[in-house]
Amino acid sequence: MRDRIGTFIGHKGACWQARLSSDATLAATASADFSAKVWDTHTGECLHTLQHAHIVRAVAFPSQPRPQILATGGFEKKLMIYDLSLSGSSPHSDSSSPTSPTFRNGNTNISHPPGFEIGAGTHKSTIKSIIWGNNPNVLITACEDKQIRWFDIRTRDSIASYTLDGPIGSCELNPSMSTLSVAAGKTAYFFSGTTPAQLLKSITLAKEVASVAVHEGERKFVTGGNQDTWVKVWDLDGDGGAREPLDVWKGHHGPIWSLGFSPDGKICASGSEDGTVKLWKFCEGGYGLWGSR
């Protein structure tokens, strides 16, 4: 059991997604209360509240320290970019926040940074996920219409797209940003993290895949399902189909909607509808919480 070190309080609806900046100094949250919020992770202060016309499902920072740009998307069917450095109001602060384990101020700062839409009119369905890789000029969206789309921020236009065989579950870059992993229907898709729409491999399994993450160094990938409560480990170089997983991690009590590896690849995290996040050791010998075992 790990103790949480703080709670961001301020949203009035469910949080659909949360993202950290690359240096972990900022957090962004997407909510059903028609807003996205940006938080200071050290003080818990809400720096910006970005109002939308509908539920916000996805947020993304560019991969740079203390970023001043945020991308949002959701039920509005718009991919929006906001310049946080040009906020219309200054952040509200509370002297109790830096020392309190409960982070507040979520309702007191409604700033209005200028924003603009990327690919106006392109999205015809809800944006479920936004990916911002190591190329600051390219954004990727995953939508309920089974489409993955790549956009060039400079031209504000779509530069590539790919239609998947089923509804999209998760869409994530691996820590090295070299591979984009997408779960859709019964298939795990692996795209280049640098070349738009370049499919490296797709593996179709026997059951639906709700989430997927890849470990290129070990040539393995993990999946979570919505028909069972297990995380399964697979051989990346296999053919899929009716083959058996290399390992099965049991412990969740609900569908597994999110998976991801730590930057060093030795830990895999799984997020489930059962309200828990679990950490799984993905290496030999002792490591961190697992001591010398």
Read off the amino acid at residue 78: K
Domains 12-163 and 166-293 share a fold: yes
**Which pLDDT does position 65 carry in this prediction?**
87
Q: Give me the pLDDT at residue 140, please.
A: 97
Which residues lie across from 125 on neighbouring strands? none
> Measuring CA to CA, how many Å separate 168 from each of 12, 119, 141, 269?
27, 20, 11, 20
**Burial (0-12, 13-18, 19+ Cβ within 10 Å), 211:** buried
User: The whole model's pTM is what?
Assistant: 0.87
pLDDT, one tens digit per residue, over 44-81 is 999 999 999 999 999 999 988 889 999 999 999 999 99
In our burial notation (b when 16+ CB lie closer than 10 A, e otherwise), range 62-93 reads: bbeeebbbbbbbbbbbbbbbbebeebeeebeb
User: Mean pLDDT in each 10-residue stretch from start to end of the chain (293 residues)?
Assistant: 74 94 95 96 93 96 92 98 75 34 46 85 97 92 97 96 96 92 96 96 93 94 92 86 85 94 93 93 82 56
Output the pLDDT for position 149. 98
Q: pLDDT at position 288, please?
A: 76
Query: By the 8 A CB rule, do 218 and 194 touch?
Result: no
- Considering the domain delimited by 12-163, tell me its CATH architecture: 7 Propeller (2.130)
> What integer pLDDT is reported at residue 89 of this predicted model?
45
| Helix (H) or strand (E) segment spanning residue 177 | none
Position 110 scores a pLDDT of 59
Q: Output DSSP code: residue 241.
A: B
Question: What class does CATH assign to 166-293?
Answer: mainly beta
Segments making up each domain of the chain, as ranges: 12-163, 166-293
